[in-house]
A and B are shown apart, each in its own frame.
Chain A
Amino acid sequence: MDWLQQLINGISLGSIYALIALGYTMVYGIIKLINFAHGDVFMLGAFIGFFAITRWEMGFLPALIIAMVLCSMIGVIIERVAYKRLRNATRIAALTTAIGVSFLIEYTMIFFRGATPEAYPQVLPNKNINILGANISSQTILILIVTIILMILLQFIVHKTKIGKAMRAVSHDADAARLMGINVDNTISATFAIGSALAGAAGVIFGSYYTRIDPLMGVLPGLKAFIAAVLGGIGSIPGAMVGGFILGIVETIVSAVGYSLWRDAAAFVILILILILKPAGIFGKNIREKV
């Protein structure tokens, strides 16, 4: 049952993409900005988790929570310092700034600790479990469980809480939301906080799964997550989840059939195809520009 094993590997890789993609899609939904610094928040999350585990000798869960809290603060700071003043600027100005913030984070990190990779300590039990003839590591399953809990939590926040409703209102029509008495600036900050917390969580999960982290580790997963968000329909939360899973599974299949060198190319081929065939993505709506 080799395919089942590959499928589960694909789903767990996809769940990491999905966690990162959620931040992209939420931020895009609310301020129409592709936050290219998002992958670097993911990297910072991985390092925060690393320090929490090695220096402060924490377990996986406390490290995950610390990384989420600190990353959400970092996300809010990035928004307040770099993006807030560009709210009425052209989109390309904000996009360029996002790329600048991305480089700033990457090379500040390299400046302080060098570019050498770090080996993530083993924090999750690693036993192989036999399910229907497939050998699945307990890590994979734990990661999947944590990711799914985080996604359910996100759905709850977005649909049932006041701040979630405010987020949806602002993303639909910011001025109308203001007329309801919603504080748009705080709502945007909350969006960055939640998205960055998920990226931080993804960083810790990625580190403990792939065991190698370095200051530029956020670049490729960040781009992949961006592809996942576009694939699902940027701005759509379920879209980001589905897009992440699809991308993870496709990459794993490409590797499994023997073309592992082509897996990154496969992701970008998906991006190109989706932009040609269905630019709005799987869950995206064709939105007419309002006059």
Chain B
Amino acid sequence: MLQVNNIDVFYGNIHALKNVSLEVNEGEIVTLIGANGAGKSTLLKTLSGLLKPKQGTILYNMQQIAGKPAQMIVKNGIVQVPEGRRVFANMTVEENLELGAFLRKDREGIKKDLQHVFELFPRLEERRKQLSGTLSGGEQQMLAMGRAIMAKPKLLLLDEPSMGLAPLIVQQIFEIIQTINKEGTTILLVEQNAHMALSIADRAYVIETGKIVLSGTAKELKESDQVRAAYLGGM
């Protein structure tokens, strides 16, 4: 479904991604784990069209999407839940969800998906008229995910959904990620919380200072000494 081949991305003068390749197959949950500043968010921003790779190709369903405008990429079904949720705090929950469906024209489908989002996150329905800036961190994460679902993603990019949330909420969020995946959405999950990410993923990549240093099935990585020492705290 998604093939990233040898991309190099620069942030000004900083060489943020070095010759990165990765692959996501339809129906999978793939996770990319790594420490702060390793280049995880840079990769997702590049996939979403916010950054342009200097070199390399990004193929989505065999079509080159590197450097295409962000709205084209969303239209094609790659939707991102950005790091730190980035909800529109000055708008209500409902308006945020409507903005998720910005490019869609099928009114009926939008209505149905709104209902579906409310089933996944009943909290959001209770607070639909509330300004999203007044929500708690966990609720904002739910809203950011609901907003992405409203775009009808085929490939959902999640950037650190567990960041700053209580363990119980993290548990909930990860259960919902699995539900979304079972409903047919492919998922690329970027996480620092390697333990949680590996527990739900099919395959995983480890990124360090802009380079992919390890890859394999989630099971393999969980048992790898290198990952255990660096990311799982020797558990």
Contact = CB atoms under 8 A, between A and B. Distances in A.
A182 B71 contact: yes
Interface string B63-86: 000000111001100011010001
Contacts of B91: 165, 168-169, 172
B89 interface: yes
A179 B102 contact: no
Given A168-B90, A172-B88, A173-B86, A180 B100 contact: yes
Contacts of A91: none
Could you say which of B71, B79, B86, B98 has the most chain A C-beta atoms within 10 Å of its C-beta?
Answer: B71
Query: Chain A: interface secondary structure?
Result: helix
Interface string A140-180: 00000000000000000000001001101100110111111
Contacts of A180: 74, 99-100, 102-103, 147, 151
Contact of A165 (B49, B87, B99): B99
Nearest to A175: B50
Nearest to B72: A181
A181 B90 contact: no
Interface residues of B, number: 25
Contacts of A162: 102
Given A165-B98, A165-B99, A166-B102, A176 B82 contact: yes
Given A168-B91, A172-B89, A178 B50 contact: yes
B88 A181 contact: no
A108 interface: no
Contact of A179 (B82, B89, B95, B98): B82
A184 to B, nearest CB: 8
Could you say which of A166, A178, A179, A182 has the most chain B C-beta atoms within 10 Å of its C-beta?
Answer: A179
Query: Chain B: interface secondary structure?
Result: loop
A189 to B, nearest CB: 15
A267 B50 CA distance: 43
Interface string B89-132: 11100010011101100000000000000000000000000000
B82 A175 contact: yes
A16 B71 CA distance: 38
A175 B86 contact: yes
A124 B220 CA distance: 82
Nearest to B81: A179
Interface string B32-58: 000000000000000011100000000
A182 B102 contact: yes
A178 B71 CA distance: 7
A168 B79 CA distance: 20
Interface in A215-267: none
Interface string B127-153: 000000000000000000001000100
Contact of A181 (B50, B75, B86, B87): B75
A176 B50 CA distance: 10
Contacts of B69: 183
A181 B48 contact: no
A172 B71 contact: no
A1 B49 CA distance: 63
Contacts of A165: 91, 95, 98-99, 102
A183 B71 contact: yes
Contacts of B86: 173, 175-176, 179
B103 A181 contact: yes
Interface of A: 162, 165-166, 168-169, 172-173, 175-183
9 contacts: A165-B102, A166-B99, A169-B99, A173-B88, A176-B88, A178-B49, A179-B74, A179-B80, A183-B71
The 9 closest A-B pairs by CB, nearest first: A181-B74, A176-B86, A181-B103, A178-B70, A181-B71, A180-B102, A172-B88, A180-B99, A181-B102
